Structure 1
Amino acid sequence: MRFQIILLLVGFGSSAVRAADAPDPAKLAARIDAALRAGWDQAKVRPTVVADDATFLRRATLDLVGRIPSIAETRAFLADKSESKRAKLVTRLIDSGGHTRHMATYWRRAWVPQADTVEFARLADDFETWLAARLQENAGYDLIVRELLTTPVAKEKRAAAVRGGAVTPIVFFSANEGKAENLAASSTRAFLGVNLDCAQCHDHPFAKWTRDQFWQTAAFFAAPQMEGGKVSLQLTIPNTKKTLSAELMDGSPVKWPENVTPEAGRAAFAKWATGPGNPYFARNAVNRAWAQAFGTALVEPLDDLSGESGTAGPHADLLRDIATAFEANGFDLKYLSRAMALTTTYQLSATVQDATPSDPRLFARMPVRGLTGEQLYDSLRTAAGLAHDRDDAGRKRFAAQFHVERAVTAVRSITQSLATMNGRVTADLTDPAKNATLRGLLDAPFLDTPGKVEALFLAVLGRRPTADEIAPLARYVEAGGTDNDTSKAFGDLFWALVNTTEFNTNH
């Protein structure tokens, strides 16, 4: 029985500016480590040990390209004895097309979470295609956001896009129904980390934002008019007679263009939001990127950078330092990803040892994080030695079953667990005819049974089995499992491994 193999595995899991003189991400990584070490010393805590090579390879590959490493990648990395192999791995992964596609999904989900619906599925795909192309070009984060916010969005174009129009970032406007108030709330939350929508109906109860400021911001997304030879953007607060003109959140003056265009208001807001010295833009990008890499953001919640934790919290100074470096280097997302992945902090184990604190806000160990649906599907195919197809309809259906808001808090539901245990995708992959890894192992005369079990562990879990694991599992396979069939026994072992917590989490 397959569950017999699960029992054999219990207790045997793993411990569980683009210029030639651009700043070195390793230097920023060192500053990050120094700042966190100072925090540990002050709190009198001791971080856990650095993770082993297999764990680091799996973690970095999942985080940077959205899948587990292939068996060939695992063997090559574990065999590499150079001191720089982790840095070389990070560079290789970040420079790959897999990284841009994976991060396009992450940022699309952060900016347009409404697109995770059937209605906007096609638009979400188009948006990610557009964004992946910009990331592949290594366009600055500020340029990407400005292009998004100033995209032409005439009603007829927006309607056409819902039917699957051109590849543009128009889904941001479609998902917000083209309404000025929705666009203002989404823009400030996604690009500034400011929860302004709580002030839509009344002054914010826990922050400095007022109702007038909300509608003054929303006015930037209204249709501009020309009054007295000047651009005018105004909105009337619903159910009132009060009309407000567009004003920036920090009260700075707006320099309007001489010629009015439909995008004039959005262009003015985008110029301010992404401009040098904006108090929120770079910090928000860094905070969200940090949350993706470390599970927990430097400032929580993600949309409260204007609150006390964002201005005077334990990591507020570190966030400002990273954001300053990010902005000084042309809002280079790849530079930021390299710096974070090169920190010793990122390389820490997820295992609690001795007095290692469990509080994730200290970053003294890495958290165990659930995989997204996309990561899980692509990892299953990688483990099976199969190619990836992001347009695969089966991938979309599978990923939709495993949608999570924050992977660090993800808990598998009974339905999701049953989907991996008894679903069509997993069931098909237990058949050697549909699993290239199993087929190759069965046809490998140069490997004995323990060697084949080891190869399967490397393919699925990215590590070699322990002596306590390999002996009973090799005996199970050699006996042909419960059906006296070696081929089915290997299928059972594959099924058991992909249903372990070790496979279903990033640790």
Structure 2
Amino acid sequence: MSHEDPIIDPLLEELLGQQQMPDLTARIVRAHQQRQAAISQQAHNNSQLAHNGSPHTHAGKPTNGQTKAPLSISVSAAAQNGASSASVDLPAEESPVKRSGQFKRRLKRQRFFTAIGSLSLSLCLLVMLGGVAYYTYQRFLPGQGIPLAADGTQKPSSGARDTDAKPEASPQLANDNVPPSEVIVRNESPAPEASPAMPQMPREIESVDHVAVAEKSAPNFVPPRVRDSLKLADDEVIREIDDAIATVWKSEQVKPSPVATDNEFCRRTYLQLLGRIPTVEEIESYVKHRGKNKRSWLVDEILGNEKYQAEFASFWSARFANILVGRAGGMSDDSPIDRSALEDYLANAFQKNTPYNVLVQDLITATGTTSPGSESFNPATNFLVSMIDGDAKLATAKTCSTFLGQQLQCAECHNHPTSGWNQEQFWSMNAFFRQTKLAKDRESGKLAILERDFVKNQASDAGEVYYEQPNGLVKVAYPQFVDGTKIPPSGKINEVDRRQELAQLIVNSDDFPKATVNRMWQHFFGVGFTQPVDDMGPHNPASHPELLDNLAVHFAESGFDMKRLMRWIVLSEPYALSSRQIDDNLADDPDAGQQLFARYYARQMEAEQLFHSLQMLAKNRGRGNAIIASNDDRHTWLGQINQKMGDDEDSESSTLDGGVTQSLLMMNGGLMRQATDAQSAVLKNVIASKMSPADKVEHLFLAALSRRPTKKELNAIGEILKSRSNEATALQDIWWALLNSNEFILDH
């Protein structure tokens, strides 16, 4: 049985009902009087019952196993006598019995709303605490709260981490291969880098008072590779090429096309080595040569004669600038690339025949400003300047594709399904570029490449790179070459110069000379041993793997001599074949991935070759036989036909695609108007000469197509000349028709 308490209940009512504290003094006095009266009444009743012999209980003793509260005795006694309210003389509304039901209901309501309020407040506090905890985890403890372990079949838990593997205390060098599954994660690591799928906001490039070229003070951990010297003569290497190609012809049951004519060989050789068609004088000089091997004489003349050195260097500087930064790189005013400075630097290297491995090391390790105007000017910085901002993903992909023939960009976000490259390899290569920063020299206003410490964790000098796998697993990578070779993980520039080590690893690699040979073969034949040339590997096998491997070894043993490599290819038997396909080599189809090199593959001139050729025909030659194209003029013309696509792979588009734009450019473009103007170099000399009309036509054919006209062509043009009253105008029209013919624009 529950009892109301006249003292405790008002206190609860005040506490839960938010009422003012009542004056309890009078109530306590009356309650005391009530209790005394009840005790007296109970004693009286007991005495009567005892006198009558009836059962009784004593006050304060247990009744049915329970003891009544002392302050409630008066209430019980009053209830038994039916006069509790009168005996205590309390107002009706303050009587515990009368107000018990109402008070209970009100008390229940108050307790219900109090519980609801407390629960709501608790939930709010929990949400706030959870948000603070989540922010703390994301800000200070990377990996916490992010799925870091999953078996690929179950959803990873929100707090899982891979902490089994630890970074090595000492570097593993040479051929120390690391299993792809090995993962290094630090418990104390800083926040992870932005995911590849989450683009970073472009950051503002800082300005520095003076940018100095960094002196390489860090020790070298990757020693230069010692290679044997080439013991074979050039003729022996060329014979190897011929034998390897002939072996494939035999196995594929094809026969080579006939040998090209002298005029055809001369034209293609000038196009490929100097980037322009030959002059009439150069063609006639080659055709009339009576030496034992006139092809060797021509190639040695172009590669070795001083009169061609500047022109050779100019063309190949433009060619390699395309490889390094693209045709559109540095063409726009807002580009960070100074293309002229880059081409001048490359031209100087080709003119001196600088070993290719030395050139590549300079390009990869360059620091300083990109353009003339400051003390730290270094033109080699133009290779990386547009690709290292942010997390250097583009620099990673471009370096691998250009110098190793490997396309790693797909492995940035996921393991490549066919090539075998995985994310760990991409981000381990990316770690080599993380000491590289962009800045702006306040003195010259030019962009500069700097090297700074890359330390992500104050507890360690190791500069780790974080990346996220498709399943949400966050991994960490340290500098590691694609073949598994590691360098020390320190991000301190005075302890480990990562780009310096990367450059040495690249030129030490077997893939480096192989990628170079493949790219150069593609230049001279139009098709490499692999298609494309920068995607070599088991997923894309070479058409002539043994030949590619042998040429790569010979090239490396030659001291990476680019001119010798060019000579081997140009003097090989397949290069000297006609471009005319015969019935016996119909299986030779590079478009179907079956490149057998049983004929010379005809293709459209490259943009630089077309420009140089038209410019030569439009302008008078300079001193001697050298015809050097102006870099500024070339940039202006190429800027009209090439543009950046603005994608992640830095790809480009060109209007020289055989379409309407190309036709309009050829027929009515400014350079074509210069070449076909009556005052142009070739046309002016022909019109002013005392040659016969037939000889004039023959000279124009040689100048444009590097061949003499056929008898049928000569007769048809003779009829045109007879029908025209103005010979100069007729010759100008003929000249325009020759330069707009398909034969002129083809390299065949």
Correspondence 1:51 to 2:260: yes
TM-score, normalised by the number of residues in structure 2: 0.59
Equivalent residue for 2:599, pick from 361, 365, 375: 365
Equivalent residue for 1:287, pick from 511, 518, 524: 518
**Could you tell me how far apart the structure 2 residues matched to 1:218 and 1:390 are?**
38
1:161 and 1:176, CA in 2 relative to 1: closer, same or farther beyond 3 A?
farther
Partner of 1:399: 638
1:185 and 1:54, CA in 2 relative to 1: closer, same or farther beyond 3 A?
same
Equivalent residue for 2:275, pick from 44, 47, 66: 66
1:105 and 1:318, CA in 2 relative to 1: closer, same or farther beyond 3 A?
same
Partner of 1:115: 329
Question: Structure 2 unaligned runs (5+)?
Answer: 1-225, 436-452, 622-626, 644-650
Q: C-alpha displacement at 1:48, in angstroms?
A: 0.3
Q: Residues 260 and 577 of structure 2 are in contact (CA less than 8 Å); yes or no, is this contact kept in structure 1?
A: yes
Correspondence 1:420 to 2:666: yes
Equivalent residue for 1:132, pick from 312, 335, 347: 347
1:85 and 1:120, CA in 2 relative to 1: closer, same or farther beyond 3 A?
farther
Alignment of 1:11-50 (within 5 A): 23-50=232-259
Q: C-alpha displacement at 1:477, in angstroms?
A: 2.6
Tell me, what secondary structure is at the counterpart of 1:115?
coil
Tell me, what secondary structure is at the counterpart of 1:325?
helix
Q: Residues 488 and 496 of structure 2 are in contact (CA less than 8 Å); yes or no, is this contact kept in structure 1?
A: no
Which range moved further: 79-88 or 395-404? 395-404
Q: C-alpha displacement at 1:402, in angstroms?
A: 4.5
Partner of 1:439: 684
Q: Residues 490 and 496 of structure 2 are in contact (CA less than 8 Å); yes or no, is this contact kept in structure 1?
A: no
Q: Residues 432 and 498 of structure 2 are in contact (CA less than 8 Å); yes or no, is this contact kept in structure 1?
A: yes
Q: C-alpha displacement at 1:20, in angstroms?
A: 12
**Could you tell me how far apart the structure 2 residues matched to 1:359 and 1:108 are?**
30
**Could you tell me how far apart the structure 2 residues matched to 1:194 and 1:120 are?**
26
Partner of 1:299: 530
AA aligned opposite 1:215: W
User: Structure 1, residues 296-345: CA drift from partner, whole Å, max 9, x if none?
Assistant: 001222222223334xx431111001000000111111110000000011
**Could you tell me how far apart the structure 1 residues matched to 2:461 and 2:288 are?**
65
Equivalent residue for 2:312, pick from 99, 119, 126: 99
Q: C-alpha displacement at 1:392, in angstroms?
A: 5.5
Partner of 1:464: 708
1:112 and 1:504, CA in 2 relative to 1: closer, same or farther beyond 3 A?
same
1:393 and 1:125, CA in 2 relative to 1: closer, same or farther beyond 3 A?
closer
Question: Structure 1 unaligned runs (5+)?
Answer: 1-16
Tell me, what secondary structure is at the counterpart of 1:308?
coil
Correspondence 1:170 to 2:381: yes
Alignment of 1:442-457 (within 5 A): 442-445=687-690, 447-457=691-701
Q: Which has the larger radius of gyration?
A: 2
Tell me, what secondary structure is at the counterpart of 1:237?
strand
Which range moved further: 113-122 or 344-353? 113-122
- Cα RMSD over matched residues? 3.1
User: Structure 1, residues 168-193: CA drift from partner, whole Å, max 9, x if none?
Assistant: 12222222143422211111111101
1:271 and 1:393, CA in 2 relative to 1: closer, same or farther beyond 3 A?
closer
Equivalent residue for 2:611, pick from 348, 358, 377: 377
Correspondence 1:204 to 2:434: no
Tell me, what secondary structure is at the counterpart of 1:60?
helix
Tell me, what secondary structure is at the counterpart of 2:540?
helix
Q: Tell me which of the two structures has the higher relative contact order, counting C-alpha pairs closer than 8 angstroms and 6 or more residues apart.
A: 1
Q: Residues 161 and 170 of structure 1 are in contact (CA less than 8 Å); yes or no, is this contact kept in structure 2?
A: no
Whichever structure has more helix as a proportion of its residues is: 1
Which range moved further: 86-95 or 394-403? 394-403
1:40 and 1:92, CA in 2 relative to 1: closer, same or farther beyond 3 A?
same
**Could you tell me how far apart the structure 2 residues matched to 1:255 and 1:57 are?**
53
1:413 and 1:116, CA in 2 relative to 1: closer, same or farther beyond 3 A?
farther
Q: C-alpha displacement at 1:129, in angstroms?
A: 1.2
**Could you tell me how far apart the structure 2 residues matched to 1:424 and 1:263 are?**
53
**Could you tell me how far apart the structure 2 residues matched to 1:372 and 1:150 are?**
30
**Could you tell me how far apart the structure 2 residues matched to 1:299 and 1:80 are?**
37
**Could you tell me how far apart the structure 2 residues matched to 1:492 and 1:501 are?**
16
1:171 and 1:392, CA in 2 relative to 1: closer, same or farther beyond 3 A?
closer
Q: Residues 372 and 403 of structure 1 are in contact (CA less than 8 Å); yes or no, is this contact kept in structure 2?
A: no
User: Structure 1, residues 444-466: CA drift from partner, whole Å, max 9, x if none?
Assistant: 22x11101111111111111111
1:329 and 1:229, CA in 2 relative to 1: closer, same or farther beyond 3 A?
farther
Tell me, what secondary structure is at the counterpart of 1:350?
coil
Q: C-alpha displacement at 1:101, in angstroms?
A: 1.9
Q: C-alpha displacement at 1:346, in angstroms?
A: 0.4
Tell me, what secondary structure is at the counterpart of 1:67?
coil
Tell me, what secondary structure is at the counterpart of 2:383?
helix
AA aligned opposite 2:403: F
**Could you tell me how far apart the structure 1 residues matched to 2:421 and 2:428 are?**
11
Which range moved further: 52-61 or 182-191? 182-191
**Could you tell me how far apart the structure 2 residues matched to 1:20 and 1:122 are?**
37
1:402 and 1:86, CA in 2 relative to 1: closer, same or farther beyond 3 A?
farther
Equivalent residue for 2:556, pick from 327, 346, 355: 327
Count of paired positions: 476
Q: C-alpha displacement at 1:429, in angstroms?
A: 2.7
TM-score, normalised by the number of residues in structure 1: 0.86
User: Structure 1, residues 16-45: CA drift from partner, whole Å, max 9, x if none?
Assistant: x9x998743222111011001000000000
1:403 and 1:346, CA in 2 relative to 1: closer, same or farther beyond 3 A?
farther
Q: C-alpha displacement at 1:134, in angstroms?
A: 0.9
Partner of 2:737: 496
Q: Residues 373 and 400 of structure 1 are in contact (CA less than 8 Å); yes or no, is this contact kept in structure 2?
A: no
Tell me, what secondary structure is at the counterpart of 1:289?
helix
AA aligned opposite 1:150: T
1:423 and 1:180, CA in 2 relative to 1: closer, same or farther beyond 3 A?
closer
1:230 and 1:135, CA in 2 relative to 1: closer, same or farther beyond 3 A?
farther
